[in-house]
């Protein structure tokens, strides 16, 4: 246990992310198929390579039916799909974001590149963070509502054009970037055939540009807006995987907050709640690694502590255990 | 024929201070059981500096700091030496009494008195004064009147808000720029990183020392700990590290041989409140002379200096400076802040982790913020079922009788309780 508590989390996490990236993006070539209800961006537009499929894509497709259909077998099928998605979330909670999501991993790689180039990161202004948080919920509602409105007329409004059956996929940077990793660049296009597709594909190109530039400067730039994060969060409380905090041990020093790529203030300032998996949390566990207080933060799986903050671990990770410093370590 | 000369005021001041210093050192050496041999190096250091007026940093640029919130990391990164000027001498307190209001805090009076006399073994080239408590904030102007350059550093008095975080981060950046200009050197990433690691390593040694205090058989006294931490105010950091390592080695040995500084029934005390600064160890010594042992403290001359280490996510200059600023603001439990539940939680946590039997809370008469916070801390301790004794004291050498009666009675009551519990 001590060995795990003393580990260099960044290295371990990097390795896990590389492995999961390979499985999700190239797993299909070795016959891996985790189904099509994954709570992570395993992209359907990479049909050969993907090791499973993203449920956000799936659910948009499922909702594009006349409402009567949901009264029958399609309704039951829909609930079963949702249940399988919830099961995946139940197992890993938001660690899907911090350890599996290929888009998350790409952003972390861009962050590493920025660090190598010694460029300073930017942060969202703290005064605006609350409003930024709402964006992902709006996106989630839209991505559920729009496909449904293609097949149904809501509140007397006319049905939406067919180009909106998968509105989120249209603007998701994963659609363009993930296939690019298997050499398929065909998703980089603007569709001029009709106004809806023109708008949506143009938006998609803009978003992918923002994604690359944004996440170079801002750690986990895209995750703030990610509707998958919102969707997972609805089922997060019941999950087996938790980030716990013992408020009585917290000195509010803010080391965890400094380490947090998502700038989650609660991790430092909330001393009342035990469960600290907030809506933006990616369960990357960098906060646990940055916490100097014995057992104040811990990753918990099914009631068992799997990784906790310790003074010794902190000192080792910050390389404060040796008197003679080499000139450039810890980069 | 011997030459007679009249003692100058400076010589007189030095003689008085030397008397105070040697008195504290000798009490430490002689009156406690099982002294630690490796501590002699520290006693010698105090004797050199305070009895023999030996300069430790002759060639270096010395940066005076008026409070804990001026980051040593940044000063070391410029190859300068931080000298913390918080003062514990009654001699200086008396000089300062003529310059400050009657009811001012003895620590501030002694610090101002020290500047007024201009009698330094290591005279600071300039002084940074963070706007912490009222008295220190105002003392800056008085000190400036004696011909020193005092630079005020903005420090917020509320730490919960994000505004205060941004504010102090900005303040630290400005401090860095100012220091860089004065010293005439540029801050580089490598130097700052090395300085962060250097202090971090010293802090890690402090934490190792504390591990020995958590154990059932305590191998180091609270007063020795105060000697060690207090030396960090002015000692050469590498020499401090070496001395502390030697103490650590000895503690390891003592643990094996079961050499302790306290008996099994000796109550374990957490000390909090106004900082004991050499040679004013009046209260800590009273406590340990009354057969209790200080296992932990919550003061800015000791625990608060070492407890929290700078944690950096991205080791570039800005990342480090922000982390440094956060460490000195966010983790601080100084009573100058508006609300201070953090301090109460820290004390309770110390009582738990160090299995303490009670808390002794000292406030210097005139140290308004500690006096003000007394009520809320006492209430919280009562709620948590932790016995606490509140004492008001000052730097005067008298007053011992009244204080010792109260301390002894408190410790005796803790002992009784401990015996009953078996």
Q: Judge if A172 and A281 occupy the same domain.
A: no
* Cα separation, A39 vs A234, whole angstroms: 12
Nearest one of B260, B244, B251, B217 to B34, comparing CA atoms: B260
In a domain, A326, yes or no: no
Sorted by sequence, the CB contacts under 8 Å of residue A89 that are 6+ apart come out as A39, A96, A232, A235, A236, A239
* Cα separation, A182 vs A47, whole angstroms: 10
Report, as an integer, the average pLDDT of A29-35: 93
In a domain, A325, yes or no: no
Average pLDDT, chain B: 94
- Is residue B283 over pLDDT 80? yes
Sorted by sequence, the CB contacts under 8 Å of residue B279 that are 6+ apart come out as B20, B21, B23, B24, B25, B46, B50, B88, B89
Give pLDDT, residue B346: 94
Using the CB atoms, write b or e for A167-204: b if 16+ within 10 Å. Answer: bbbbbbbbbbbbbbbbebeebeeeeeeeebbebbbeeb
- Is residue B95 over pLDDT 60? yes
Distance (Å) from the alpha carbon of A288 to chain B's nearest alpha carbon: 12
CB of A323 within 8 Å of any CB in chain B? yes
Peptide bond into B279 cis (omega under 30): yes
Test mutation, A118, A252, A270, A294, chain B, max B CBs within 10 A: A252
In a domain, A307, yes or no: yes
Is residue A56 within 8 Å of A168, Cβ to Cβ? yes
Q: Judge if A19 and A152 occupy the same domain.
A: yes
Question: Edge-to-edge, what's the strand order for the sheet holding A241-245?
Answer: A241-245, A297-301, A304-308
Distance (Å) from the alpha carbon of B331 to chain A's nearest alpha carbon: 4
Distance (Å) from the alpha carbon of A247 to chain B's nearest alpha carbon: 9
Report, as an integer, the average pLDDT of B336-340: 90
For residue B400, name the pLDDT band (cuts at 50, 70, 90).
low
For residue A163, name the pLDDT band (cuts at 50, 70, 90).
confident
In a domain, A329, yes or no: no
For residue A330, name the pLDDT band (cuts at 50, 70, 90).
very low
* Cα separation, A327 vs A38, whole angstroms: 44
Give pLDDT, residue A286: 96
Is residue A306 within 8 Å of A271, Cβ to Cβ? no
Task: Note whether A331 contacts B200, CB cutoff 8 Å.
Answer: no
ipTM (interface predicted TM): 0.90
- CA distances B106 to A251, A308, B97, B363, B395, Å, are 29, 44, 8, 11, 6
Pick the last residue of a domain from A177, A204, A232.
A232
Report, as an integer, the average pLDDT of B340-358: 94
CA B1 to chain centre: 47
Q: Judge if A8 and A27 occupy the same domain.
A: yes
Nearest one of A267, A292, A291, A290 to A279, comparing CA atoms: A267
Average pLDDT, chain A: 92
Q: Judge if A99 and A75 occupy the same domain.
A: yes
Q: Judge if A60 and A198 occupy the same domain.
A: yes
pTM of the model: 0.92
* Structural domain total, chain A: 2
Pick the last residue of a domain from A197, A214, A232.
A232
Q: Judge if A129 and A270 occupy the same domain.
A: no
Task: Note whether A328 contacts B160, CB cutoff 8 Å.
Answer: no
- Is residue A331 over pLDDT 50? no
Distance separating the N- and C-terminal Cα atoms of chain B: 69
Report, as an integer, the average pLDDT of B369-382: 96
Residue-number span of the structural domain to which A276 is assigned? 241-317
- Is residue B43 over pLDDT 90? yes
Pick the last residue of a domain from A232, A267, A289.
A232
Give pLDDT, residue A324: 53
- The domain that contains A282 carries what CATH number? 3.30.70.20
In a domain, A330, yes or no: no
* Cα separation, A228 vs A54, whole angstroms: 9
For β-strands A297-301 and A304-308, DSSP reports them as antiparallel
- Is residue B296 over pLDDT 80? yes
The CA R_g of chain A, rounded to the nearest whole Å, is 21
* B402-415: pLDDT as tens digits: 899 999 999 999 99
Every domain of chain B and the residues it spans: 11-421
Q: Judge if A218 and A80 occupy the same domain.
A: yes
Q: What is the DSSP string of A122-176?
A: ----GGGHHHHHHHHHHHHHHHHHHHHHHHS--TTPPPPPGGGSSHHHHH-HHHH
Q: Judge if A59 and A207 occupy the same domain.
A: yes
Q: Judge if A197 and A78 occupy the same domain.
A: yes
CB atoms within 10 A of CB A144: 17
Report, as an integer, the average pLDDT of A218-247: 95
* More confident of the two residues B218 and A156: B218
Give pLDDT, residue A73: 84
Report, as an integer, the average pLDDT of B185-192: 95
Q: What is the DSSP string of B113-133?
A: HHHHHT--SS--SEEEEES-S
- Is residue B76 over pLDDT 90? yes
For residue B101, name the pLDDT band (cuts at 50, 70, 90).
very high
B241 contacts on A by Cβ (under 8 Å): 323
């Amino acid at each position: 246990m001590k060995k795990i508590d003393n580990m260099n989390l960044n290295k371990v996490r990097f390795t896990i992310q590389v492995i999961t990236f390979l499985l999700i993006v190239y797993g299909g070539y070795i016959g891996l198929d985790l189904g099509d209800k994954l709570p992570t961006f395993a992209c359907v537009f990479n049909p050969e390579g993907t090791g499973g499929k993203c449920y956000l894509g799936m659910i948009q497709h499922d909702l594009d039916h006349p409402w009567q259909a949901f009264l029958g077998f399609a309704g039951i099928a829909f609930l079963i799909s949702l249940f399988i998605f919830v099961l995946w979330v139940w197992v890993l909670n938001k660690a899907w974001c911090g350890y599996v999501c290929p888009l998350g991993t790409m952003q972390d790689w861009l962050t590493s590149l920025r660090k190598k180039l010694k460029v300073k990161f930017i942060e969202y202004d703290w005064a605006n963070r609350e409003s930024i948080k709402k964006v992902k919920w709006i996106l989630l509602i839209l991505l559920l509502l729009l496909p449904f409105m293609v097949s149904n007329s809501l509140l007397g409004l006319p049905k939406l054009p067919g180009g909106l059956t998968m509105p989120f996929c249209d603007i998701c940077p994963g659609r363009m970037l993930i296939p690019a990793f298997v050499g398929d660049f065909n998703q980089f296009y603007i569709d001029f055939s009709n106004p809806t597709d023109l708008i949506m594909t143009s938006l998609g190109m803009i978003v992918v540009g923002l994604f690359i530039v944004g996440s170079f400067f801002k750690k986990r730039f895209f995750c703030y807006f990610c509707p998958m994060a919102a969707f997972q969060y609805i089922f997060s409380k019941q999950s087996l995987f938790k980030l716990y905090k013992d408020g009585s041990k917290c000195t509010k020093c803010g080391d965890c907050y400094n380490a947090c790529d998502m700038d989650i203030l609660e991790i430092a300032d909330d001393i009342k709640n035990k469960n600290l998996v907030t809506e933006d949390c990616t369960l990357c566990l960098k906060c646990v690694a940055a916490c100097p207080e014995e057992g104040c933060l811990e990753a918990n799986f099914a009631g068992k502590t799997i990784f906790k903050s310790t003074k010794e671990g902190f000192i080792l990770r910050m390389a404060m255990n040796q008197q003679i410093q080499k000139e450039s370590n810890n980069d | 024929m011997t030459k007679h000369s009249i003692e100058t005021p400076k010589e007189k001041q030095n003689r008085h201070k030397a008397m105070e210093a040697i008195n504290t050192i000798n009490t430490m050496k002689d009156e406690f059981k099982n002294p630690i041999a490796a501590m002699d190096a520290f006693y010698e250091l105090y004797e050199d500096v305070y009895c023999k007026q030996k300069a430790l940093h002759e060639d270096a640029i010395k940066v005076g700091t008026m409070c804990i919130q001026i980051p040593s990391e940044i000063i070391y990164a410029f190859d300068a030496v931080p000298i913390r000027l918080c003062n514990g001498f009654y001699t200086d307190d008396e000089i300062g009494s003529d310059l400050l209001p009657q009811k001012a805090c003895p620590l501030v009076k002694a610090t101002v008195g020290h500047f007024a006399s201009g009698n330094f073994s290591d005279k600071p080239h300039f002084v940074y004064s963070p706007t912490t408590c009222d008295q220190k904030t105002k003392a800056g102007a008085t000190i400036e009147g004696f011909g020193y350059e005092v630079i005020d550093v903005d420090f917020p008095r509320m730490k919960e808000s994000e505004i205060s975080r941004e504010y102090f981060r900005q303040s630290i950046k400005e401090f860095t720029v100012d220091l860089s200009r004065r010293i005439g050197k540029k801050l580089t990433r490598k130097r700052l990183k090395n300085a962060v690691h250097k202090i971090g390593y010293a802090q890690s040694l402090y934490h190792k020392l504390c591990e020995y205090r958590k154990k059932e058989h305590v191998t180091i006294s609270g007063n020795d700990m105060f000697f060690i931490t207090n030396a960090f105010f002015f000692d050469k950091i590498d020499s401090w590290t070496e001395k502390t390592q030697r103490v650590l080695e000895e503690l390891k040995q003592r643990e094996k041989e079961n050499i302790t500084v306290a008996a099994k029934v000796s109550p374990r005390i957490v000390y909090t409140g106004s900082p004991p600064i050499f040679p004013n160890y009046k209260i800590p010594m009273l406590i340990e002379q009354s057969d209790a042992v200080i296992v932990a403290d919550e003061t800015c001359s000791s625990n608060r200096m070492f407890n929290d280490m700078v944690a950096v996510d991205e080791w570039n200059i800005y990342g480090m400076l922000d982390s440094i600023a956060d460490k000195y603001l966010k983790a601080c439990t100084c009573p100058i802040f508006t609300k201070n539940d953090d301090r109460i939680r820290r004390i309770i946590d110390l009582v738990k982790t160090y299995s303490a039997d009670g808390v002794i809370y000292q406030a210097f008469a005139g140290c308004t913020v500690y006096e003000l916070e007394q009520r809320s801390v006492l209430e919280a301790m009562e709620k948590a079922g932790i016995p606490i004794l509140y004492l008001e004291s000052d730097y005067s050498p008298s007053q011992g009788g009244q204080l010792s009666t109260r301390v002894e009675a408190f410790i005796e009551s803790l002992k009784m309780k401990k015996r009953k519990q078996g």
